[in-house]
Structure 1
Amino acid sequence: MKYMIIGGVAGGATAVARLRRVDEKAEIVLLEKGKYISYANCGLPYYIGGVIAEREKLLVQTPESFGKRFRIDVRVENEAISIQPDNKKVTIRKADGSTYEESYDKLLLSPGATPVRPPLEGIDLEGIFTLRNVEDTDRIKSYISSKCVKRAVVVGAGFIGLEMAENLHHAGVHVSVVEMGNQVMAPIDFSMAAPVHQHLIQKGVALYLEEGVTRFERTDKGINVFLKSGKTIPADMVLLSIGVRPATDLAKQAGLRLGETGGIWVDEHLETSIKDIYAVGDAIEYPHPLTGKPWLNYLANPANRQGRIVADNMALGNVVAYEGAIGTSIAKVFDMTVASTGLAAKRLKQWGMDYCSSVTHSVSHAGYYPDALPLTLKLTFHPKTGKLYGAQCIGYEGVDKRIDQIAGLIKRGGTVYDLMETEHTYAPPFSSAKDPIAIAGYVASNIISGAMPAITWRELLAEKENVMLIDTRTPEEYSFGSIPGAVNIPLDELRNHLSEIPSDKPVVLFCAVGLRGYLAQRILIGNGYKQVRNLIGGYKTYSAAVAPVPVPVADETVCYKSEAVSDEVSSCACESPVVKINACGLQCPGPIMKVKQAMDHAEPGQQIEVVATDAGFARDASAWCDTTGNKLIRKSESKGRYTVVIEKGNSCPTATPVPAGRGKTLILFSDDLDKALATFVLANGAAATGQKVSIFFTFWGLNVLKKVQKPKVEKDIFGRMFGMMLPSSSLKLKLSQMNMFGLGSRMMRFLMKRKGVDSLESLRAQALEQGVEFIACQMSMDMMGISREELLDEVTIGGVATYMERADKANVNLFI
């Protein structure tokens, strides 16, 4: 038997090696139009960037070594130019241009795919490249070295385009990426691509989305790349990564059937429409296992699997059926890993398939073990059966093993319930007791069962004006930013605020990643609310998805700095040691709470350096500084660890300051227990949202500030009379109504404790901790014979002028 294989990379090389193992006596001829066979084409970008230093490591086998080991007639620089199926012959052109014919008994086509080069003006200029094989790699590598390339434009933001962007960056080249779509990495959903956009920008890549190239022009200084928006990007070289198409010229000439998508049609045994001619790899079209629809799959793993199957079928007589590929891929984008398998939500929507999706945010291993890094996982699944359709994952560690596990389940018809039942290895350095894919399964099952009615970020954008939006995070998290129009009711306080939440209006709850939103949802449903949904993926997903991609500016630097951030360090900061905080592995609000605690104890001008793995914290640090009066000095990112340096503002009090005109002042005139409670509830609420709050205690309100253990002070007769008639401390306050000789106030305190409501004294302490200013009226103190020593130490003394000055800067003034 004589076998001929056309194409010596991936599927072709695998088929040849398998054929020899199956049939030791066969005659096998391998034709390859290039100089190299069986090379690692996926490693080509990393050789260009210098990550792979030795070119020889890309060459898995040389023609000589491969031919000798497997007793193969390997013919490189021999291009098949036509096939005559009737007499089973192939016409071949050699490197010198001469041609000859070779017969076969069975033929395998593995021609791969060819890069797309649109007919743009100037596209054939020197310095414009595509990357598909070793020869392309050599040309690019040589050009970068000889031309001293400092600026490059990558056209197309697919997997290869972004890998090239990273590796050109490693080579010291400033990179601009131009993409016609509204996102990078088209196979994944927009919400999953959004964090990749931010990561690219952090690394100094100039990202041009929804832009197309119209033409190229060569100048004395390099190449000008003209965009459809009218912008021009100067470059020293251009890499085209617009896409590929199946190489089908030879198949067309031979009369082979082409499929709906333009690839070579093959049956389940990978045989083409003409007997004894088979095909594998990027050039073939095959039904997708989940949809039955024909599709093209440009991935190395399926090509190699097809090579093994087709060898058995060619040698043994169509004995193995190919199950198809679901499209499992992974890419390294600087420090981030992006992987996907199966069908994304946008593809399911395009094909009219019913589906649900879930987004969960976890960490790569146990959060308490060092260097736990964030990991986001999105599932798509059938809304009733839970059959898995696809998964996407982004993170810094552990992305590959999660997607690999899910891909195996999808290929076997698995469901979200299988994710819950999967047994994982667990030790703190490697995973968590509840692995991220198990958590994703639990969330998906809650969506299916109706235990967690959900809303996606896109749906929320469309419905936002018609729902009550509740942010269940802490006030500190809320101060870092929230969804416009959201009301902050922390989860732990939700039961005390049910009267503020309408039961006849749709309610959307959210937190940082979805867990607290779900818990809040269960509270509301348990209290009779019907129209309550939880935001999938929480604020982390929403904020990343709606964050605008900044428009690149000329002469950008590659360092990651936020706008209006100064590199100058204040003289105060130089005099004080930098406080370093390690918040790695902490989920929101962990990093925020650590920063706030450090800021409360820092001196003006002192710097706080925070290292966190929560990208949301780093992204929002600038906005938080703007609202708190602190100064963002710098921020940087490396391998999923975000370093933020914040300097405490010189005039920044421990409370969170706000711009003038947004403060709150309250006058407490009463010593009734219920009125005092209302005062501190309002004060704490305002302070929690970043408001500057002052309470002016006058006349009877001074009794709220009295110490329980007061020092002995000298008083005149009127002071002693007031002392006997007035409450000695806040513990003795009475109700304004239904006091019933003190029984009402005792009942009120009992009910507060039973229902988990903070006491008056606790609310007062919380207000002080948040920086609420307590001002005691000097005139009232004099009139009532109250001395400064009898009042809480934190109280300041003031008069009408003090109050009026605070009132002038406030937009709310309350008299209680």
Structure 2
Amino acid sequence: MKYVIVGGVAGGATAAARIRRNTEKAEIVLFEKGEYISYANCGLPYYIGGVIRDRERLFVQTPEAFARRFRVDVRTVSEVTAIDVRRKEVTVRTSDGREYVETYDKLLLSPGASPVRLPLTGIDSRGIFTLRNVQDTDRIKDYVRQHQVRRALIVGGGFIGLEMAENLQHTGAEVAVVEMAAQVMGPIDFSMAALVHEHLLQKGVKLYLEQAVESFEETASGVTVKFKSGITIETDLVILSIGVRAETSLASAAGLELGEMKGIRVNEYLQTSDESVYAVGDAIEFPHPLTGKPWLNFLAGPANRQARIVADNMVFGNKVKYEGAVGTAIAKVFDQTVASTGLPAKRLIQFGIPYLSATIHSGSHAGYYPGALQMAIKITFSPDGGKLYGAQIVGYDGVDKRIDEYAMVIKRGGTVYDLMELEHAYAPPFSSAKDPVAVSGYVAGNILNGKMNPLYWRDLKTADLNRVTLVDVRTPDEYALGGIDGAVNVPLDELRERLAELPLDKSVWVYCGVGLRGYLASNILKENGYDVRNLIGGLKTYKAAVTPVCIPGAPEDVCVRKSSNTCCVSQEEKVPVARIVRIDACGIQCPGPILKLKTSME
């Protein structure tokens, strides 16, 4: 049996190795149009930033070592230009322009995806790059070495874009990010992305949100970038991170079926419309396990999973079904970790799927053990039965562990009640007796059984506060540091004695720092006959979501007009610092951090 594989990175190389482990008798030919196979695609930004110093560490296997170990005929710099499915042949072009034909018994396509390059004026100018492979990486690295890159612009605020923002800052460049949407990190909801915006601004990254690039112009000193809004900025380097597109031209030309999303259509065995041709990786279209609708999933983890399955099916016949992927992803954004899995609220709205959500801010480990940092977690779930739809986390330590737990529950069709039943390994350096995953399940359960009536930040932002009583249940010291306009301060520990101050003929909306004290207050009020709602995620979520991000250089009043909130601070504003006093408030429950701050100031 002769197996031909097109594409030698994640999917192709993994499948070739698995086929060989399945049988010693097969002939395996692997074509890769680039120079390298099986390299660490996700590590490329970190090599540019110098975090990964040794270029050779990017390569899992060299073509020679891979060929020797697995007895695979590896042919790099060899592009498959055509497939004849009737004759079971592929046409191959080598680096010197020579063409030849190779036959196959079974063919695997793993062509990946290519970066999106919009037809903008000047997009081919010197100093403008995309990042998808080792060659791109080498070009960017060489350019940074040979030129004085003081300013860098990232076009696109997705995972790779923000990883590049961090790593270009490591090289000493001042970094700006321009994004057409109102937020960075498209896979997560706006309220969660707002926490990322805060962190990026703290790190000195300039954000141009809701801005679109119109043109580029190469100049003697670098590149002039013009936005459609009329804003013009000067930069020394541009990284295009607009997104990727499934590479399907080869399959389409061969007459293989494409799906609704313009990916290669495959069945549950990862077989294309031709029974002798299979496909894996970024280029395939497969139904989402939650919606049943076809989607494209540009992630290395699922590609490797598919490669293992497809190798077994190609050798032993179609016996192993692919279960689909829910899109579990994670990224390091400076000091923060951002992760998501399943469907966020905005996608559920898009699909017309009813949902509820819960947002918590919980410590990464026991608060009394040094270094406990908060992570923000948002989960989405069905109002009927609590089926878990998605999870998003923005935090520091322990984000990876928790997002994987959510992903497993989602893939198994589990509910928020399953989150409560997960058995967590607990020791103070790693978690709390009530792990954040379990806590999110408890909060969701309280919403589902009616114990807590949730108030979401968008509802509060657009509400007529003359029709409700808004109550801040934090301490007077916390309240004095700022809250929500129109709120009255009735601390939680004084609430029972001051009920008479709250009219019964109005709904009472309560909030605290992160939601816990608001929940406790809502229980007291509910038992005393009040119609009460608690702000989900508390003031931390609300403030992050409603505070506008100013366009760099724009007058402050422009930002304020975007929101009723008036605490917007220009990205250009610098506050002189005479002395830094460091206060360790990690892991302390509210109002502990404020009290510790007050004591230190006094």
Q: For the Cα contact (< 8 Å) 2:30–2:74, is it kept in 1?
A: yes
Partner of residue 483, structure 2: 482
Aligned-partner SS, 2:463: helix
Q: Which whole-Å deviations, capped at 9, do the CAs of 1:507-536 have from their partners, x for residues lacking one?
A: 11110111111111111111111x211010
1:147 pairs with 2:147: yes
Partner of residue 566, structure 2: none
- Residue identity in the other structure for 1:96: D
Partner of residue 593, structure 1: 595
Q: Which whole-Å deviations, capped at 9, do the CAs of 1:298-355 have from their partners, x for residues lacking one?
A: 0000000000000001111111000000000000000000000000010001100011
How far apart in 2 are the matches of 1:233 and 1:446?
50
1:527 pairs with 2:528: yes
Partner of residue 198, structure 1: 198
Partner of residue 269, structure 2: 269
The Cα of 1:275 is off from its aligned counterpart by: 1.4
Q: Which whole-Å deviations, capped at 9, do the CAs of 1:531-557 have from their partners, x for residues lacking one?
A: 211010011100111112132239xxx
The Cα of 1:132 is off from its aligned counterpart by: 0.3
Aligned-partner SS, 1:583: coil
- Compare 302-311 and 501-510 and name the one that shifted more: 501-510
- Residue identity in the other structure for 2:66: F
How far apart in 1 are the matches of 2:585 and 2:5?
56
Partner of residue 352, structure 1: 352
How far apart in 2 are the matches of 1:116 and 1:279?
22
Aligned-partner SS, 2:295: strand
How far apart in 2 are the matches of 1:122 and 1:273?
40
How far apart in 1 are the matches of 2:143 and 2:378?
41
Partner of residue 469, structure 1: 470
Alignment of structure 1 residues 714-733 onto 2, 5 Å: none
1:236 pairs with 2:236: yes
Higher relative contact order (CA 8 A, sep 6+): 2
Partner of residue 289, structure 1: 289
Q: For the Cα contact (< 8 Å) 2:8–2:32, is it kept in 1?
A: yes
The Cα of 1:169 is off from its aligned counterpart by: 0.5
How far apart in 1 are the matches of 2:61 and 2:543?
48
* Cα 1:580/1:463, change in 2 over 3 Å: closer
- Residue identity in the other structure for 1:459: D
Q: Which whole-Å deviations, capped at 9, do the CAs of 1:623-682 have from their partners, x for residues lacking one?
A: xxxxxxxxxxxxxxxxxxxxxxxxxxxxxxxxxxxxxxxxxxxxxxxxxxxxxxxxxxxx
Partner of residue 157, structure 1: 157
The Cα of 1:562 is off from its aligned counterpart by: 8.9
The Cα of 1:599 is off from its aligned counterpart by: 3.1
- Residue identity in the other structure for 2:458: R
How far apart in 2 are the matches of 1:208 and 1:342?
28
Partner of residue 260, structure 1: 260
How far apart in 1 are the matches of 2:379 and 2:237?
39
- Residue identity in the other structure for 2:491: P
- Compare 380-389 and 464-473 and name the one that shifted more: 464-473
Partner of residue 563, structure 2: none
Partner of residue 562, structure 2: none
Partner of residue 72, structure 1: 72
The Cα of 1:498 is off from its aligned counterpart by: 1.4
How far apart in 2 are the matches of 1:244 and 1:74?
26
The Cα of 1:561 is off from its aligned counterpart by: 9.5
Partner of residue 584, structure 1: 586
Partner of residue 567, structure 2: none
The Cα of 1:390 is off from its aligned counterpart by: 0.6
How far apart in 2 are the matches of 1:174 and 1:371?
30
- Compare 91-100 and 578-587 and name the one that shifted more: 578-587
Partner of residue 515, structure 2: 514
- Residue identity in the other structure for 1:76: T
Q: For the Cα contact (< 8 Å) 2:330–2:337, is it kept in 1?
A: yes
- Give the TM-score, by structure 1 length: 0.71
Q: Which whole-Å deviations, capped at 9, do the CAs of 1:96-142 have from their partners, x for residues lacking one?
A: 01100000000000000000000000000111000000000000000
Aligned-partner SS, 2:259: coil
The Cα of 1:68 is off from its aligned counterpart by: 0.4
How far apart in 1 are the matches of 2:589 and 2:183?
27
Aligned-partner SS, 1:8: coil
* Cα 1:160/1:579, change in 2 over 3 Å: closer
The Cα of 1:567 is off from its aligned counterpart by: 3.5
The Cα of 1:564 is off from its aligned counterpart by: 5.7
1:397 pairs with 2:397: yes
Aligned-partner SS, 2:495: helix
- Compare 503-512 and 3-12 and name the one that shifted more: 503-512
- Residue identity in the other structure for 2:594: I
Aligned-partner SS, 2:318: coil
Partner of residue 280, structure 2: 280
The Cα of 1:579 is off from its aligned counterpart by: 6.6
Alignment of structure 1 residues 418-457 onto 2, 5 Å: 418-457=418-457
* Higher radius of gyration, 1 or 2: 1
Between the aligned residues of both structures, percent identity stands at: 66
Alignment of structure 1 residues 318-717 onto 2, 5 Å: 318-465=318-465, 466-529=467-530, 531-553=531-553, 563=573, 565-568=575-578, 581-600=583-602
Aligned-partner SS, 1:437: helix
The Cα of 1:470 is off from its aligned counterpart by: 0.5
- Residue identity in the other structure for 1:200: L
Aligned-partner SS, 1:140: helix
- Residue identity in the other structure for 1:582: D
* Cα 1:85/1:310, change in 2 over 3 Å: same
The Cα of 1:464 is off from its aligned counterpart by: 4.0
- Residue identity in the other structure for 2:478: E
Q: Which whole-Å deviations, capped at 9, do the CAs of 1:733-765 have from their partners, x for residues lacking one?
A: xxxxxxxxxxxxxxxxxxxxxxxxxxxxxxxxx
- Give the TM-score, by structure 2 length: 0.96
Partner of residue 564, structure 2: none
The Cα of 1:216 is off from its aligned counterpart by: 0.3
- Residue identity in the other structure for 2:457: W
Aligned-partner SS, 2:584: strand
Aligned-partner SS, 2:291: coil
How far apart in 2 are the matches of 1:76 and 1:114?
18
How far apart in 2 are the matches of 1:42 and 1:85?
33
- Residue identity in the other structure for 1:80: V
1:302 pairs with 2:302: yes
- Residue identity in the other structure for 1:50: G
The Cα of 1:268 is off from its aligned counterpart by: 0.2
The Cα of 1:566 is off from its aligned counterpart by: 2.1
Partner of residue 218, structure 1: 218
- Residue identity in the other structure for 1:469: L
Aligned-partner SS, 1:233: strand
- Residue identity in the other structure for 2:355: Y
List alignment gaps of at least 5 residues for structure 1.
Answer: 555-559, 570-577, 601-816
Q: For the Cα contact (< 8 Å) 2:382–2:388, is it kept in 1?
A: yes
* Cα 1:388/1:11, change in 2 over 3 Å: same
- Residue identity in the other structure for 1:591: P
Aligned-partner SS, 2:430: coil
Q: For the Cα contact (< 8 Å) 2:5–2:107, is it kept in 1?
A: yes
How far apart in 1 are the matches of 2:590 and 2:345?
27
* Cα 1:561/1:227, change in 2 over 3 Å: closer
Q: Which whole-Å deviations, capped at 9, do the CAs of 1:215-259 have from their partners, x for residues lacking one?
A: 001111110010112111111110000000100000111001100
Alignment of structure 1 residues 89-168 onto 2, 5 Å: 89-168=89-168
Partner of residue 641, structure 1: none
Q: CA RMSD in A?
A: 1.4
Partner of residue 565, structure 2: none
- Residue identity in the other structure for 1:371: G
* Cα 1:296/1:579, change in 2 over 3 Å: closer
Aligned-partner SS, 2:68: helix
Aligned-partner SS, 2:424: coil
Q: For the Cα contact (< 8 Å) 2:551–2:571, is it kept in 1?
A: no
- Residue identity in the other structure for 2:122: G
List alignment gaps of at least 5 residues for structure 2.
Answer: 555-569
- Residue identity in the other structure for 1:590: G
How far apart in 2 are the matches of 1:268 and 1:463?
48
